[in-house]
């Protein structure tokens, strides 16, 4: 990546230490209002629960060294890796529509790991102790929610959806106190293209700090959109680029039935990665009104609302840029409005293109949107499982079993076969396209819960097997135990998730 940092690379331990750390901290070169220098708080007796060896390798880190005693001390926040300048980032955000000042209240950014390929990734410890932004929180995280983020984020990555990654979870040997009483504590090592959020810009804008805003625009462009550096109007270029990436991202969520659960503006990353896995979950039975989060009483973040909420969040982002867009406010507002108005059509185009891939359709026909709509309408009516319905269409398997042995479905199926029949030379390619876009396995809610319960009780095997299954979601040939493909008996209707604090 062509990002130049002004921070010299310092490596007191030599050669990045045994684990291969090669950290910089370019974020600390930004105006001081954007972060606080604070390290993790040591924990009593760290124990490695899970380590992501392939990710370690991508980062240029030695997995064996990370799993060793010194490595685990780093992953627990008890020891600094070489050249680390730990900081907590300042941000604000709209939570359920209300503006609040936030910041990393339970996380520190150790630095940016420079990979052997020259890429730059944030390495953050989550659950690492209090920071100046902790308010009344303890700065800690419970083991269950951190393992949950590990499982779901890695599943999203395997599904091909931009996401922060999980390098490791270390149990701290300390209890954290939550509503249900004492729970085992843990630290998650999160790896991200960056942790710059819509809320980061909202923080700078709320301070009326134009210099900080300008620095953030420049930094975000250099880090995530280097091709736009030097644009005539950098803020407008950034706004358009972020809108486009979010349109693509939300479409990808919708196409696999993913619910983020808490799409506050502080949980929207400008890199276009999915970030902050709290009460997220995958939908079983297709129902656009699906909500899992226990605190989302009005369904603000329901499945079908996700595109609309992304649009709303991006409007908040656009507002932060107004002072930079144009000296004249009315012109700035017109520019921002024009950009924001493009979101819906960009999203719909990504979504329909994705649905065509799921159905194996090449080219574009007028009737395609209606064909998709009528399938979804049927799925909603019979509460068909979202993942399994599309998976059945992938190799065009037998459709003579319930719920597919149904007149309405068979009539839709005939229409779909007719559409496929108009691209006869591409039958094999179409089947391939469907396989590559319709996962066989997703993190089924009951499987995730079972894996977490076993892990918290000391048995990591259930989670390890689940992670292995989730790592190859598009492998239609692989034989996996049927429980990994089974929706909950009630189609997931009664399932509830909780904020992972
Ligand atoms: P989240 O729900 O994880 O997106 O967090 C929302 C805000 O609450 C962020 O500013 C977090 O840093 C903060 N927060 C969440 N849990 C804690 C905690 N246990 N201690 C301190 N701050 C927290
Ligand atoms: Mg958050």
> Each residue of 393-416: pLDDT tens digit?
987 666 678 889 999 999 999 999
Cα of 42 vs centre of ligand 1, distance in Å, is 19
Show Cβ contacts of residue 108 under 8 Å, excluding neighbours closer than 6 positions.
38, 39, 40, 77, 86, 87, 88, 124, 125, 128, 129, 131
Does residue 70 surpass a pLDDT of 80?
yes
Q: How far apart are CA 284 and CA 276, in angstroms?
A: 22
Given a contact cutoff of 8 angstroms between Cβ atoms, the answer to whether 154 and 470 are in contact is yes
Pocket test for ligand 1, best of 103, 137, 185, 301 (most atoms within 8 A of CB): 137
Q: How far apart are CA 268 and CA 273, in angstroms?
A: 8
Q: How far apart are CA 378 and CA 357, in angstroms?
A: 19
Residue 376's pLDDT is 98
Report which protein residue has its CA nearest ligand 1's atom 15: 501
Q: Is the distance from the beta carbon of residue 385 to the nearest atom of ligand 1 less than 6 Å?
A: no
Band of pLDDT at residue 500, cut at 50, 70 and 90: low
Given a contact cutoff of 8 angstroms between Cβ atoms, the answer to whether 90 and 203 are in contact is yes
Report which protein residue has its CA nearest ligand 1's atom 14: 105
Among the atoms of ligand 1, which is closest to the Cα of residue 107? Answer: 12
Does residue 16 surpass a pLDDT of 60?
no
For residues 178-195, give the mean pLDDT: 96
H/E element, 216: helix 210-224
Residue 396's pLDDT is 60
Q: How far apart are CA 97 and CA 203, in angstroms?
A: 15
Q: Which of 248, 311, 312, 259 is nearest to 287 (CA)?
A: 259
Residue 85's SS3 state is coil
Among the atoms of ligand 1, which is closest to the Cα of residue 264? Answer: 4
- From the CB of residue 14, how many other CB atoms can be counted at a distance below 10 Å? 8
Does residue 11 surpass a pLDDT of 90?
no
pLDDT tens, position by position, 435-476: 999 999 999 999 999 999 999 999 999 999 999 999 999 999
Residue at token pair 């400008």: 270
Cα of 7 vs centre of ligand 1, distance in Å, is 29
pLDDT tens, position by position, 337-362: 999 999 999 999 999 999 999 999 99
Checking DSSP bridges between strand 92-95 and strand 107-114, what pairing results, if any?
Answer: unpaired
Q: How far apart are CA 401 and CA 212, in angstroms?
A: 60
Q: 387 is written with which tokens?
A: 């993942």
Provide the Cα torsion 272, 122, 38, 152; round to 10°: 70
Residue 398's pLDDT is 66
Does residue 336 surpass a pLDDT of 80?
yes
Among the atoms of ligand 1, which is closest to the Cα of residue 131? Answer: 21
Does residue 222 surpass a pLDDT of 60?
yes
CA distances from 285 to 66, 299, 356, 388, 412 (A): 41, 17, 21, 9, 19
- The fraction of the chain above a pLDDT of 70, given in percent, is 95
pLDDT tens, position by position, 51-61: 999 999 999 99
Does residue 175 surpass a pLDDT of 50?
yes
Q: Which sequence positions are flagged as catalytic?
A: 266
Average pLDDT of the chain is 94
Cα of 359 vs centre of ligand 2, distance in Å, is 35
Q: 230 is written with which tokens?
A: 């030097």
Q: 117 is written with which tokens?
A: 């390929």
Identify the nearest ligand to the CA of 269 by its number: 2
Where does residue 111 fall: left (phi above 0), alpha (psi -120 to 50 degrees), or beta otherwise? left
Residue 169's SS3 state is strand
Q: Which of 231, 238, 273, 271 is nearest to 252 (CA)?
A: 273
Q: Is the distance from the beta carbon of residue 132 to the nearest atom of ligand 1 less than 6 Å?
A: no
Provide the Cα torsion 160, 249, 262, 184; round to 10°: 20
Show Cβ contacts of residue 262 under 8 Å, excluding neighbours closer than 6 positions.
276, 278, 279, 280, 293, 296, 301, 499
Residue 489's pLDDT is 81
Residue 17's pLDDT is 63
Residue 401's pLDDT is 82
Residue 285's SS3 state is strand
Given a contact cutoff of 8 angstroms between Cβ atoms, the answer to whether 374 and 277 are in contact is no
What sign results for the dihedral spanned by CA atoms 484, 486, 490, 492? positive
For residues 381-399, give the mean pLDDT: 87
Give 102-134 as a DSSP string.
---SSEEEEEEEEPTTS-EEEEEEESB---TT-
- The fraction of the chain above a pLDDT of 90, given in percent, is 91
Q: How far apart are CA 87 and CA 302, in angstroms?
A: 34
Q: Which of 95, 180, 57, 101 is nearest to 498 (CA)?
A: 180
pLDDT tens, position by position, 414-433: 999 999 999 999 999 999 99
Where does residue 492 fall: left (phi above 0), alpha (psi -120 to 50 degrees), or beta otherwise? left
Q: How far apart are CA 372 and CA 374, in angstroms?
A: 5
Does residue 259 surpass a pLDDT of 50?
yes
Q: Is the distance from the beta carbon of residue 267 to the nearest atom of ligand 1 less than 6 Å?
A: yes
For residues 66-83, give the mean pLDDT: 95
Band of pLDDT at residue 491, cut at 50, 70 and 90: confident
């Amino acid at each position: 990546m062509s990002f130049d940092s002004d921070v010299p690379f310092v490596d007191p331990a030599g050669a990045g230490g045994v684990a291969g750390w090669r950290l910089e901290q370019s974020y600390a070169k930004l105006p001081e209002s954007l972060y606080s220098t604070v390290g993790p708080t040591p924990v009593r007796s760290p124990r490695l629960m899970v380590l992501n060896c392939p990710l370690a390798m991508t980062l240029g880190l030695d997995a064996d060294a990370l799993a060793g005693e010194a490595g685990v001390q780093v992953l627990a926040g008890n020891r600094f890796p070489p050249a680390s300048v730990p900081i907590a980032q300042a941000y604000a955000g709209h939570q359920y529509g209300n503006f609040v000042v936030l910041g990393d209240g339970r996380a520190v950014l150790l630095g940016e790991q420079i990979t052997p390929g020259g890429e730059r990734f944030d390495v953050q410890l989550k659950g690492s102790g209090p920071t100046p932004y902790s308010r009344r929180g303890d700065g800690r995280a419970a083991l269950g929610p951190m393992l949950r983020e590990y499982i779901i984020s890695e599943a999203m990555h395997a599904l091909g959806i931009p996401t922060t990654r999980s390098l490791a979870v270390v149990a701290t040997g300390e209890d954290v106190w939550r509503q249900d009483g004492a729970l085992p504590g843990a630290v998650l090592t999160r790896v991200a293209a960056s942790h710059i959020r819509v809320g980061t810009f909202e923080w700078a804008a709320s301070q009326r700090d134009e210099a900080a805003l300008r620095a953030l625009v420049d930094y975000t462009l250099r880090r995530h959109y280097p091709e736009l550096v030097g644009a005539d109007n950098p803020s407008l270029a950034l706004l358009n680029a972020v809108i486009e990436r979010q349109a693509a991202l939300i479409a990808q969520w919708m196409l696999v039935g993913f619910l983020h659960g808490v799409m506050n503006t502080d949980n929207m990353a400008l890199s276009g990665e999915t970030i902050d896995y709290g009460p997220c979950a995958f939908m079983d039975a297709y129902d656009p009104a699906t909500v899992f989060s226990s605190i989302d009483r009005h369904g603000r973040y329901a499945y079908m609302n996700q595109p609309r909420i992304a649009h709303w969040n991006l409007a908040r982002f656009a507002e932060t840029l107004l002072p930079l867009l144009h000296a004249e406010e009315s012109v700035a507002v017109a520019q921002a409005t024009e950009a924001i108005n493009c979101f819906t059509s960009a999203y719909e185009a990504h979504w329909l293109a994705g649905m065509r891939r799921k159905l194996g359709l090449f080219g574009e026909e007028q009737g395609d949107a209606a064909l998709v709509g009528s399938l979804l309408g049927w799925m909603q009516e019979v509460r068909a499982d979202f993942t399994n319905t599309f998976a059945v269409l992938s190799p065009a398997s037998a459709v003579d079993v319930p719920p597919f042995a149904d007149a309405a479905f068979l009539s839709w199926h005939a229409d779909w076969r007719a559409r496929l029949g108009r691209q006869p030379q591409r039958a094999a390619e179409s089947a391939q396209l469907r396989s590559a876009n319709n996962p066989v396995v997703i993190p089924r809610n009951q499987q995730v819960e079972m894996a977490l319960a076993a892990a918290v009780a000391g048995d990591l095997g259930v989670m390890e097997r689940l992670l292995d299954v989730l790592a190859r979601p598009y492998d239609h040939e692989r034989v996996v135990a049927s429980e990994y493909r089974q929706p909950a008996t009630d189609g997931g209707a009664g399932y509830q998730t909780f904020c992972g604090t």
